Amino acid sequence: MKGVILAAGIGSRLGRKLPKCLTQINNDETIIGRQIRLLKENGINEIIAVVGFKKELIMEFYPEILYKYNPLYSVTNTSKSLLEGIKDLYDDVIWLNGDTVFDGNIIKLLISHQGNAVAVNTSRCAEEEVKYKTDKNGFITEISKKVKEAEGEAVGINKITKEDIDEFKQALLKCNADDYFERAIEIMINGGKKFKAIDIGENRCIEIDFKEDLSNAIDLFKK
């Protein structure tokens, strides 16, 4: 099992000069620092961060992990960063957005599922978030920001199995530069592959886009 953290973006909406993943969420940890710790606590010791904006800062803070560079970070979206992150991998992979703060049990839930999986929150469905629908067996049928009558939100933590990773790479190649990686999941689904929606239940999880999100995260994850 490998871990891939997507941390190449500028994060301009948060209005900070540092890469967003280096934002402190408490006195001890940054966003990416917490992610690295939780991945390792769940037995995922080979971790790759895909970096772009001010990459040297992230690499200096966390020299113990591996890095891939997306040189087109300013003009591409998460589909291309993810492709860069997994192109040399042939194992099961859990990947996550580098601006997500969450409980480690969510990683455990994805690891325990045998197939491809998307962590979801059924209690929220904000307009700007990635949304999803499932079939009667709980497998994803639609996943994007444009889903109508959605069941909830995809929280940005996902799993692809080694059996499907080559096909997933091809799906990411088919994505446009501005596509989110969820487009590749849709391509896979349209080709007959399955992704299970894994409800995170009562576990905490928040994506940090704006200052209000950061304030909420700090309150939510107070020690």
pLDDT of residue 223: 62
69-110: pLDDT as tens digits:
999 999 999 999 999 999 999 999 999 999 999 999 999 999
Owning domain of residue 79? 2-220
Instruction: Quickly count: other Cβ atoms within 10 Å of residue 82's Cβ.
Output: 27
pLDDT of residue 65: 98
Beta-carbon contacts of 67 under 8 Å, excluding residues fewer than 6 positions away, are 48, 49, 50, 51, 55, 58, 59
pLDDT of residue 131: 95
Q: What is the mean pLDDT of the chain?
A: 94
Whole-angstrom distance, CA of residue 100 vs CA of residue 207: 4
Query: Residue 38's domain is classified under what CATH number?
Result: 3.90.550.10
Whole-angstrom distance, CA of residue 40 vs CA of residue 139: 28
Percent of the residues in the chain that have a pLDDT greater than 90, as a whole number? 84
10-50: pLDDT as tens digits:
877 666 788 999 999 988 899 999 999 999 999 999 999 99
pLDDT of residue 124: 73
189-205: pLDDT as tens digits:
999 999 999 999 999 99
pTM, two decimal places = 0.95
175-193: pLDDT as tens digits:
999 999 999 999 999 999 9
pLDDT of residue 28: 86
Whole-angstrom distance, CA of residue 223 vs CA of residue 219: 9
52-77: pLDDT as tens digits:
999 999 999 999 999 999 999 999 99
Q: Which two tokens stand for residue 155?
A: 């929280």
Using alpha carbons, select from 101, 62, 126 the residue that is nearest to residue 214.
101
Helices 165-174 and 182-190: crossing angle in degrees, nearest 10, is 110
Read off the pLDDT of each residue in 124-130 and give the average, rounded to a whole number.
80
pLDDT of residue 15: 67
Q: How many domains does the chain have?
A: 1
